[in-house]
Structure 1
């Protein structure tokens, strides 16, 4: 897991209930490229980027920003960002009898290692809060951290169950979120279809039926809307705006914008900023 590591906690205090081993933020992580086996649990939240998770029970599962996976003792696994890239993550590792009970009860199970959590900011705060406890007797401190971690795990499991219950439209919400993100980058709609659990043909047809445009057209519209806001609200050059919404150059951006809006980006900016009569 090479990268820039900001250690949030590391300790060796023993507690009969359980033990938080360490927690850290990792920027530019390359993940774990070959299968390994741990002697403890860990939860890993991707805070930026995309890639895959795989273990002895699962072929590679696509994961991206806002996804969390659980690592189990004695379950060989590997994970990491897409080829030739890196991602950011935050993790907490832990062990103990209380967490074994979670596993025995099926609340945490190797059969369902990945959770789709969505927005990362509140979860990063929750992870940080687990280990941000006042100095105290080592056993008392561990009990406090274990209690906080169980609260986080409870919310993770609950959020997943709520998501399953509302799964009828969850795929559309997730697809729109992905299509609206990272507008400067190319995005493969086949990958989005896989993320929402549909074949590409079924995804394209269902999306068009629900939204009225194809996924490609929807993303194109989002790029133009983002560009329109930048023209109105910033002093960015046309070249900078073009790059920020995924166009190869200013010429291609200007042509596409004029087709959609009826005037060039430069004319649009001048028109909307002209003082009214």
Structure 2
């Protein structure tokens, strides 16, 4: 079981290509991030990120990548200062994105994407994502996987050919996944949380079996057996590294899975409850509302409204 892939899938992640262009000094771009994690890859030149939450702009050199948490609305420009009157808002209109272009001398080239959610994910991983996570291209070796991937992206942008759109989308996904993986590795050394928990191989074994079958009626004793620990030691290490208990983590997994089921089909609440491991709809609804802040019925109605939005969930 690939834990990261499973978490991103259950969160309902949808990729949208927001912009692909040569960025000139006259056209700063504003990126809304209400429902998404943003991603910028600078393939040539230099760009700056401006936001009310930043004390000073973030400088991005060629080969740099940055991941923005949800809600981090920002402006991208080619200089530390820009004219607010010249800012253009990026709407994510895929039809308007030029997938083939020739950069002018002196411009910066970049690709920008958004990874949107059908709903607000409740998994602990998403609480660990910092507002701004930057990997400086100058700090990466020329053989680092991200460096090589960005090189392939730059090659595809500068020499467009048949199948280029598929390649660009695929490379964007690779870069996004490498960024999240790097973020997990760094967070695992910083503080207690999901990233630190799965860095412990025995705790990861217990987490993995819960992800493989969240509907199963796991007991602490069974999880401890899979982890190769006593019940007491599993409970202590799980709480110390993850900041949670094993059975509380399991309930969150079940609710996240239920959010997907409620979003995708008109199953009865009883069906959803049993599908994710609850004995009945009443107990399921109680836990769901405690974790999500909405009843399952209210959540389903909101999910349908979000899915009907003409731009929020458009995937590239």
Q: Shorter-chain TM-score: which interval?
A: 0.3 to 0.5
Which structure exhibits the higher relative contact order, with contacts defined as CA atoms closer than 8 Å and separated by 6 or more residues?
Answer: 2
Which is greater in Rg? 1
Normalization by structure 1: what TM-score? 0.38
Give the TM-score normalised by structure 2. 0.33
